[in-house]
Amino acid sequence: MIEILAQITAPHFCAGIVLWDDKVVEAAPIVEYMAKQRWTRDEVRNHCIMKGWDVSVVHQLERHTG
């Protein structure tokens, strides 16, 4: 499993999201809809581009299970 911490920076907020295997599983309240709908990494990227927001990976970790 790959875990990613990403930061979304907009003119009026800065928020974090956590993705597991390219699906949003946790998100700051202002972008909570991304986690509730389990957005993919591509959906987040496209949405941020459309809104004029920046998104960047803060940390990435590969976890081995079992």
Rounded to whole angstroms, the Cα distance separating 19 from 39 reads 9
Residue 32: C-alpha distances to residues 18, 23, 35, 52, 62 (Å) = 11, 13, 5, 18, 24
Question: In this predicted structure, what is the pLDDT of residue 65?
Answer: 73
Instruction: Tell me the per-residue pLDDT of 21-58, one tens digit each, with 9 for 90 and over.
Output: 999 999 999 999 999 999 999 999 999 999 999 999 99
Q: What is the value of pTM for the model shown?
A: 0.91
Question: In this predicted structure, what is the pLDDT of residue 66?
Answer: 67
pLDDT band at 63 (very low <50, low <70, confident <90, very high): confident
pLDDT band at 64 (very low <50, low <70, confident <90, very high): confident
